[in-house]
Amino acid sequence: MNIKAKIIDEDGLKRTITRLTHEIIERNKGTENIVLVGMRTRGEFLAQRIHEKIKEIDGSDVDLGVLDITLYRDDFRMRLKQPEVSTTDITFDVSEKDIVLIDDVLYTGRTARAALDALMDLGRPNTIQFCVLVDRGHRELPIRADFVGKNIPTSINEEIKVKLKESDGEDAVYLIDISKEA
């Protein structure tokens, strides 16, 4: 793995989460109608952190769910490896709610497209807002995020690697070079 730069460190991530949480609360004029949905796997952990932060700021315990979008992917026919399906865990009713959908990286927008379809099958939410830690550009679909931790313009020979303590043992965001070595 060829690391080009560490873009966000542990303290930076903490501040980013705090800022995103404030933005979410501000946009929704409180937390009353909000539910959080994290996308497996790292979006789930980010959602948990935002959930904690909301509790800290506002004292409220908003509903938190996890979404698995495997069944909604558009690349089944093209992939060599069969994706492993995991379970969606949303035990509350999303109808009439303001869903904040949370993921780590926004890239082509295809995952977000799948997530929107998946959420629509669960009910008719009032709004769906999209929160990402990193937006790296190169969209292939007309999708944008409502809350962005950091905009990082990248080339297609680069990759964004988000690491979180829950899954990777550290909190950091790296810019990786994946171009073939000259």
Name the site residues for another protein (rule: CB under 8 A): 68, 70-72, 76, 79-82, 84-89, 117-118, 121-123
CB-wise, 10 or 74, nearer to another protein?
A: 74
CB-wise, 114 or 152, nearer to another protein?
A: 114
CA 33 to chain CA centroid, nearest Å: 20
58: burial class by Cβ within 10 Å (0-12, 13-18, 19+)?
Answer: middle
Q: What are phi and psi of 176, to 5 degrees?
A: -115, 140
Question: 3-class DSSP state for residue 41?
Answer: coil
Smallest gap from residue 169 Cβ to another protein (A): 24
CB-wise, 76 or 137, nearer to another protein?
A: 76
**Cis ω on the peptide bond leading into residue 41 (within 30° of 0)?**
yes
CB-wise, 68 or 103, nearer to another protein?
A: 68
Report strand pairing: 158-163 vs 172-177.
antiparallel
Smallest gap from residue 72 Cβ to another protein (A): 6
Torsion of CA 21, 26, 32, 36, to 10 degrees: -30
Smallest gap from residue 139 Cβ to another protein (A): 22
CB-wise, 117 or 168, nearer to another protein?
A: 117
